[in-house]
Structure 1
Amino acid sequence: MATSAPPRFCTDYSKRVSKCQKCKMQLEKGILRLGKIIPNFFLAAKDPSKPPPDMKQYFHKNCLFEMLFKARPTTKVIDDTEEIEGFEDLNAEDQDEIKKLVDELVEKRSKDGPAEPKKTPAKKKTDEEKGEVAETPSRKRKAEEPAKSKRPTEFNEESDFNSFYKFVKVCNVLKEISSKSEKSAAITSLLQKKGFDGDLMLWLTFLIRESDKRNYNVSDETLIANFAKILDMDQAKIQKYVNKSKDVAMSISHAHEKKVTNEKSNWSLQKVDRYLEKLEKLEDEDAILSHLKFAAKRFRHDELEVLIRLIRKELDTGADASVILKGVHSKAPTVFEADGLDNVVDKYYNNNFEEPKKADSKKKFEAPKSKKSRRQQESDDSDGEESEEEEMSDSESEDENGSDSESGEENISGSDSDDVSEISSDDEDGSPKKENSPKKLARGTRTRPRGNDGNIKKKEECPPDMEACRYGEKCYRKNKDHLEEYWHPSR
């Protein structure tokens, strides 16, 4: 059976309306189109010994070259305009545009280098086969190598989280929210959604416009003039919208909505990034016009508005860099100011915003001290004082041959014990009981204060015609009016 031949390429002006195989948009009649000629395996050849008949897949000029720019090094692409069938039948302007694209494609592939065939890795001998038991230098190097970054190098452009339309919706949500904390929470919610595989670097670059260092050679006057030509409108009419709304992007979006009825596009964030990267390199006015026209024919009005805002570097979400980055992590704004956006993304994917704290080696090996409550400490202190008092009273009783001390000097514990016995040991007949040794105070028991004459003070009560001061004895006021108006206990 004959092997399939490499694809060929052709070009002409569309004879009827067809569909681009890349963007699925219409190829209008009379428009320039490029075709890829491939074998049609769906139609069986009459003679099996011959290859199947050819079929043509038509594309927009930019759509085909976008595919060729992303093709693998081993894929057959256009290396010269002579390989394009029908190239000589085109007008001079279209020939020049295709020739520029071919030159850019050849230059890119020459920088990437020729494709190297994959080699089958040779089987490595084990240490036992080599007769080596000791650790080899290569093994040591592997052990010393730092842990690999978890940051992805490739992203799925077809994922919903890499959709430019998704980005437009998020911008609208941020615009409607007034609270900064809620804006940050919206970013957090996006990143924490199940299966999030978006390119965080592009999300943050688009949301934080000051992080985009590219310089687009497109002024507001250029945008208004070019879109007036693209939409076939009077430039003064668009300028009138701009003067009224003070918003170039919104004015062009409204004009686009009236003229073009596109559905939402299937562009990815990566494709928009490549679009902006190419716009930065364009300086010719006609090339810029053609580039803007390419997006206007494919975008819906709200997507075009956000694209223009990205070009003008003023996204109207009301969220600055700090608000957006707080949605990533609370420490992300500090990292952004110190090390830049790339380090924020690295720390996000490697989950190392929180640096591990080093444990103190001394504290690590110290035996943990048992914590005592305040009540336990007070009880321990009171037990120590009571034991000292008992020893003192025992020694005094031994010196006096067992008789109690009746001198005028009384120790505090003795007087307190007498007070407790007088208050709590009265019988019904009123005769107090005498004890030979001082009693041990019950824990938590308080004695009544004594006056200068040795008698127990009676509890003072507030007179009925006055109001007691809330601070009592601790009142710090010296105002006479206050002292006369409120009752204070004698100090």
Structure 2
Amino acid sequence: MATSVPPRFCTDYAKRVAKCQKCKMQLEKGVLRMGKIMPNFFVAAKDPSKPPPDMKQYFHKECLFEMLFKARPTTKVIDETEEIEGFEDLNAEDQDEIKKLVDELTEKRSKDGPAEPKKTPSKKKAKDEVEETPSRKRKNEEPAKSKRPTEFNEESDYNSFYKFLKVCSVMKDISSSSEKSAVITSMLQKKGFDGDLMLWLSFLIRESDKRDYNVTDEKMVSYFAKILDTDEAKIQKYISKSNDVALSIAHAHEKKVTNEKSNWSLQKVDRFLEKLETLKEDDEIVKHLKFAAKRFRHDELEVLIRLIRKELDTGADAKVVLKGVHSTAPNVFETDGLDKVVDKYYNNGFEDSKKAATSKKSEPKAKKSRREADSDESDAEESEVEMSDSESEGEGDSDSEDTGEEEEDISGSDSDDVSEISSDEEGDEVKENSPKKVARGTRTRPRGSNGNIVKKEECPPDMEACRYGEKCYRKNKQHLEQFWHPSAQ
């Protein structure tokens, strides 16, 4: 069984053009490069009797140290410059830069602490171990763990800086605030969304970025004039026309540099901005900005400059962006800050508050529906009483013909009813389907198809009347046999 061999590291100046194994950009001939030396087990597999030959993977120094900064505590990294083969052959300036990166890496790993070995739980309890009572267990219970991720996949499309550009472009083209919020909602609701919401929101809401980048608009123009090797007056000419610093520098960059879109992640851009905040000298800032300008396309550089200037041109303020997360997120942001919004999102805090609100609203509605049902039943009882009274009066009349005439008069069949007469002045034709108006407070007895008054049907004593009556929607045989329904007239 092959044992794992820790990698070695080397550095030199490129003897030929190659590709960086991290960013896939070219390592030009003569530039500083760093290498990771590992055994080539693929070659060794052909002849197991011989030790595996060395294999070198080359990187930009920034790309290599970016990988080492994210490495696990147990992974072998560069602890001191003496471990880098060929370090003594570099010039003094490059040695100082690498030494600075090594010191930052060592400081970070010392803060993180050593990796703790995993403990294997014992199957049997010790004899002197006391069984915990339920009450004691409750006291010792840890608070519920947060579901908020601590690490994100930088290779994911939802953590891509180019994806961020696309979202900004879509929001910029939309005028409606609600539609701008819907762009954020749509992205968050996509299946498999694994983006770093904190970075998305802090980039979109620029007032939440508390960093000071020490770069004014005048300095920005001066820096990029040096980086692009162009006249500062040309960039100022673009600015006077567009009144937009970021767009003007991007325009000058497009004329000088032809790059494909980069594969930078939001996390890498955040680290870039974090380092920019620490730089004070002009030369250091120019070198740092140049690193991005050589790798970015012009539209990516434009957005990067807007992030530095804290003026993203999406037309969406904090309230609009946060409404895309949840309708109550702006209130949480005002009271508790952006970090609390992100916590609530990952721990379903917004859903819990929504359920509580809906349950409170549903309680009065339920009470109201009960009151309406009670009132309907009481109305039905009153109508039954009135109907029985009118029937008893009809049965007591001696002259049935007079009664019929009276009923016709009450029903309002005279030509005075406007709803039954068409608007045609030439003829007094009555509309067939128009409803007949009945004077308020009057009641008519039900009549059959032959015009005779129909007596009210009564429920048999051995059955129970269905509460829905003729309007009952149940058609199953069991229900019809169990409950009495009045026959449709």
Q: TM-score with structure 2 length normalisation? A: 0.73
Q: Give 2:92's aligned amino acid.
A: A
Q: Give 1:40's aligned amino acid.
A: N
Q: Give 2:380's aligned amino acid.
A: Q
Matched, 1:192 2:196: no
Q: Of 204, 207, 211, which aligns to 1:210?
A: 207
Residues 359-385 of structure 1 show CA distances to partners (whole Å, capped at 9, x for unaligned) of 79x9999x966522384375378689x
CA contact (8 A) 1:73 1:114 kept: yes
Residues 157-200 of structure 1 show CA distances to partners (whole Å, capped at 9, x for unaligned) of 11111111111001110111111121112221111112212111
CA contact (8 A) 1:4 1:51 kept: no
**Quick check: 309-318 or 344-353, which moved more?**
344-353
Q: How many residues align?
A: 405
Matched, 1:93 2:93: yes
Q: Of 207, 217, 225, which aligns to 1:220?
A: 217
Structure 2 unaligned segments of length 5 or more: list them: 419-489
How does 1:123-142 map onto structure 2 within 5 Å? Answer: 123=123, 125=125, 132=131, 134-135=133-134, 137-142=136-141
Q: Give, in whole Å, the separation in 2 of the partners of 1:223 and 1:427.
A: 100
Distance 1:191 1:52, change over 3 A: same
CA contact (8 A) 1:3 1:51 kept: no
The residue number in structure 1 matching 2:451 is none
Structure 1 unaligned segments of length 5 or more: list them: 391-416, 431-440, 449-458, 462-491
The residue number in structure 1 matching 2:106 is 106
The residue number in structure 2 matching 1:13 is 13
Describe the SS at the equivalent of 1:356.
Answer: helix
**Quick check: 155-164 or 24-33, which moved more?**
155-164
CA contact (8 A) 2:44 2:50 kept: no
Q: Give, in whole Å, the separation in 2 of the partners of 1:103 and 1:383.
A: 98
Matched, 1:325 2:329: no
Distance 1:156 1:460, change over 3 A: closer
**Percentage of matched positions with identical amino acids:** 73
Matched, 1:243 2:236: no
Q: Give 2:227's aligned amino acid.
A: I
The residue number in structure 2 matching 1:486 is none
Distance 1:131 1:323, change over 3 A: closer
Describe the SS at the equivalent of 2:42.
Answer: coil
CA contact (8 A) 2:397 2:403 kept: no
How far apart are residue 152 of structure 1 and its match?
A: 2.4
The residue number in structure 1 matching 2:443 is none
Q: Give, in whole Å, the separation in 1 of the partners of 2:403 and 2:109.
A: 115
CA contact (8 A) 2:156 2:194 kept: yes
How far apart are residue 149 of structure 1 and its match?
A: 2.9
Q: Give, in whole Å, the separation in 2 of the partners of 1:135 and 1:204.
A: 43
How does 1:56-67 map onto structure 2 within 5 Å? Answer: 56-67=56-67
Q: Give, in whole Å, the separation in 2 of the partners of 1:317 and 1:32.
A: 39
Describe the SS at the equivalent of 1:372.
Answer: helix
Describe the SS at the equivalent of 2:134.
Answer: coil
Matched, 1:269 2:266: yes
Q: Give, in whole Å, the separation in 2 of the partners of 1:22 and 1:133.
A: 52
Describe the SS at the equivalent of 1:34.
Answer: strand
How far apart are residue 53 of structure 1 and its match?
A: 1.9
The residue number in structure 1 matching 2:374 is 371
Matched, 1:231 2:228: yes
Distance 1:124 1:220, change over 3 A: farther
Describe the SS at the equivalent of 1:119.
Answer: coil
Structure number, greater radius of gyration: 1
How far apart are residue 153 of structure 1 and its match?
A: 2.5
Distance 1:318 1:422, change over 3 A: farther
How far apart are residue 109 of structure 1 and its match?
A: 1.3
How far apart are residue 288 of structure 1 and its match?
A: 1.1
Q: Of 161, 168, 175, which aligns to 2:165?
A: 168
